[in-house]
Amino acid sequence: MNKLKARWGIDSNWQIVIIFIVFAITGSTSAKLAEPLCNLLGIYEASSHWAVYWSARIFLIFPIYQVLLVSFGWIFGQFQFFWAFEKKMLRRIGFAKLLQ
């Protein structure tokens, strides 16, 4: 735990619990919201090829996750941590120009 707290620059065990809760809620919610969005786009699991359906769903999960991570971080009082985390993640995947 101490290594993780030092790496993330956080002080308390309570803060790390909140961060883990935010990651769990964000992941679950973004996966859950991707299905109705696929249906809205006319991509249904029953009638589409599995590769098309799952590719679209995974493609939709990514932006949903980014928005929800910062949003839930703000709700739980950890906006600064998650905003820094978000910027670092986007830089690593090549979206650095969006952050300038």
Per-residue pLDDT tens over the stretch 33-83: 999 999 999 999 889 899 999 999 999 999 999 999 999 999 999 999 999
pTM here is 0.83
Does residue 93 sit in helix, strand or coil? coil
98, pLDDT greater than 80: no
CA distance 46 to 13: 45
100, pLDDT greater than 70: no
Given this model, what pLDDT does residue 92 score? Answer: 86
8: Cβ–Cβ under 8 A, 6 or more apart, which residues?
Answer: 16, 19, 81
